[in-house]
Chains A and B, each alone.
Chain A
Amino acid sequence: QQPVQSPQAVILREGEDAVINCSSSKALYSVHWYRQKHGEAPVFLMILLKGGEQKGHEKISASFNEKKQQSSLYLTASQLSYSGTYFCGTEIRSSNTGKLIFGQGTTLQVKP
């Protein structure tokens, strides 16, 4: 049931763009995105609740394609502060439990 994230790791230069994907084999009710800095707790970025929804957070935005059971996180004009590990979290629609299952994470490194 764990969603699958791709790629596993990304290395960028400042100012470059990146896309992180999150997909599930089961129908999804919602998708969360979190970022974790080394040695710290994950921090909330955004939630997407309906198919086709797109949200933004500064230069970070995300889309949720309910039919394809996948979400993508877009980081534009990356900054050094974007470095960290990004996790998507999902609830399986049929479970109706409200529990949140996370993917394995994508490590992003932004270099000067």
Chain B
Amino acid sequence: NAGVTQTPKFQVLKTGQSMTLQCAQDMNHEYMSWYRQDPGMGLRLIHYSVGAGITDQGEVPNGYNVSRSTTEDFPLRLLSAAPSQTSVYFCASSYSRGATDTQYFGPGTRLTVL
């Protein structure tokens, strides 16, 4: 198993550009989520999904969109990048409910918005 994979590893954007961060898992996990990590702020939940076709907002959803058309993939879209979105983004998955099951994290995407 590859586990949780994320692409790209690094990305530089200009303000106003859009892009999609990819996340995929091959463990047949139902629950997937996106976090952003900033110094001193810990891991903040952006969006999460409890299964294909079902998504919901986390703590900091503004400026981000998600969809879950398959069990394996959970892409995160930045609609119009802003410098405040400069961060490290982690995707995570678990077999069942996020709160009661082990979370497996991807390697992260380091995003810089100029």
Residue in chain A with minimal CB distance to B56: A97
Is there contact, CB below 8 Å, between A99 and B108? no
Q: Which of B63-71, B77-85, B99-107 contacts A (4 or more CB under 8 A)?
A: B99-107
Is there contact, CB below 8 Å, between B42 and A102? yes
Distance from A63 Cβ to chain B, minimum over Cβ atoms (Å)? 18
Known contacts A43-B105, A99-B56: does B100 contact A2 (CB below 8 Å)? Answer: no
The residues of A that contact B99 with a CB separation of less than 8 Å are 29-30, 32, 89-91, 97-100
Q: Which listed residue (A97, A100, A104) contacts B41, Cβ 8 A?
A: A104
Known contacts A2-B42, A87-B43: does B107 contact A100 (CB below 8 Å)? Answer: no
Known contacts A32-B103, A34-B103: does B45 contact A103 (CB below 8 Å)? Answer: no
Is there contact, CB below 8 Å, between B103 and A100? yes
Chain A stretch 27-66: residues in CB contact (< 8 A) with chain B: 29-30, 32, 34, 40-44, 47, 49
Is there contact, CB below 8 Å, between B42 and A42? no
Is there contact, CB below 8 Å, between B59 and A1? yes
User: Which residues of A are interface residues toward B (Cβ below 8 A)?
Assistant: 1-2, 5, 29-30, 32, 34, 40-44, 47, 49, 87, 89-91, 97-105
A–B pairs, 29, beta carbons within 8 Å: A29-B99, A29-B100, A30-B99, A32-B103, A34-B103, A41-B105, A41-B106, A41-B108, A42-B90, A42-B103, A44-B104, A89-B103, A90-B99, A91-B100, A97-B56, A98-B97, A98-B98, A99-B58, A99-B99, A100-B33, A100-B98, A100-B103, A101-B45, A101-B58, A102-B43, A103-B42, A104-B40, A104-B42, A105-B42
